[in-house]
Amino acid sequence: MHTFAYARPATLAEAVALLAEHGAAARVLAGGTDLIIRLRDGTLVPDVVIDLKRIASLRPGVREEAGLVVIGATTVMTDVAADPLVRRHFPALADAAAVVGSVQIRNRATLGGNICNASPAADTAPPLLVYDATVVAEGPGGTRRIAVDDFFVRSGVTTLAGDEIVTAIELPLPALRMGAAHERRTRRRGHDLASVTLCCGVREDGVTRLSYGSVGPRPVLRVDETGILADPAAPAEARTNILEQLLADASPSPRSMRASPAYRLAMLRVLGRRALATALERLEARA
């Protein structure tokens, strides 16, 4: 492995200053489940690695605050999946967190790392998009809030500035009832990266939010406001048409070894239908 300096700042200000000082030569470390792999295979060769885990204000955890559920960026998947607030209000996020990697990975992988790494296959991205999450970032200029839909650009690239650190992810407590479900497709049942990852949320006012990843450069959010998808009694053809429109933004890479574009697109539809059905059941159950 290429050698690098290791910094373990105690405050956010220190961390931000280090980032500003070293620019692109610095890299932030949370759980390391993405970063360490890249350090080892030599695709990243930073001069400085800045560990966030000793920053007091970044202590992991989930709290409720002024109509929001705030998840600390360094909260690991195991804790996201088990958290009572998340499970009550955002069960599809808990479901997605619960299938990231393996037990060992989930004990280290952070929610902040998952979105900052910006893999198109990131499993928490679709539920965060469906639940309309906001990314909270801290930089030299202070705090910035970015809608998660404005956060992802393409694989490995976000709208986060080079000197910003994600401190939290905020989820608005739903004003309307919603049923939501996460589905994914992998090559085996044991841990694997998704070749399709998808979340569907149906609101009591008839709005359906559908988000999917691993079928294009970034996770996509599409919203149906016609009420047709949310209405099981609507004609099947109409529902299929809407679903097709929502899924039209998928453009899977033909270079991928995980699945061919044809299979990915077919599975996107299967998972879309399945997630929609589960979301409707859950909405029903919440009534």
- Contact positions toward ligand FAD, by CB under 6 A? 27-35, 37, 52, 73, 100-101, 105, 108-110, 112-114, 116-117, 121-123, 165-166, 191, 193
CB of 149 to other proteins, least distance (A): 28
73 binds, among other proteins, ligand FAD, none (CB under 5 to 8 A by kind): ligand FAD
112 binds, among ligand FAD, other proteins, none (CB under 5 to 8 A by kind): ligand FAD
Q: Find all residues with CB under 8 Å of 165, minimum gap 6, and list them.
A: 12, 15, 16, 19, 28, 52, 73, 137, 138, 139
CB of 76 to ligand FAD, least distance (A): 7
Q: Which residue has the tokens 């009832």?
A: 177
Q: Pick between residue 32 and residue 261 the one whose CB is nearest to ligand FAD.
A: 32
CB of 270 to other proteins, least distance (A): 5
Distance between CA 207 and CA 245 in Å, rounded?
15
Tell me which of 14, 47, 51, 192 binds other proteins, using CB under 8 A: 192
Interface with other proteins includes 190 (CB under 8 A)?
yes
Tell me which of 22, 106, 182, 185 binds other proteins, using CB under 8 A: 185
Q: Find all residues with CB under 8 Å of 186, minimum gap 6, and list them.
A: 192, 193, 194, 195
| Beta-ladder partners of 158 | 152
Structural contact between residues 221 and 211, judged by C-beta atoms closer than 8 angstroms: yes
Q: Find all residues with CB under 8 Å of 113, minimum gap 6, and list them.
A: 30, 31, 33, 34, 35, 73
Closest CB to ligand FAD belongs to which residue? 113
| Beta-ladder partners of 226 | none
Interface with other proteins includes 260 (CB under 8 A)?
yes
Interface with other proteins includes 263 (CB under 8 A)?
yes
**Residue 96: its H or E element:** helix 91-97
Residues at the interface with other proteins (CB under 8 A): 1-3, 185, 187-193, 257-260, 263, 266-267, 270
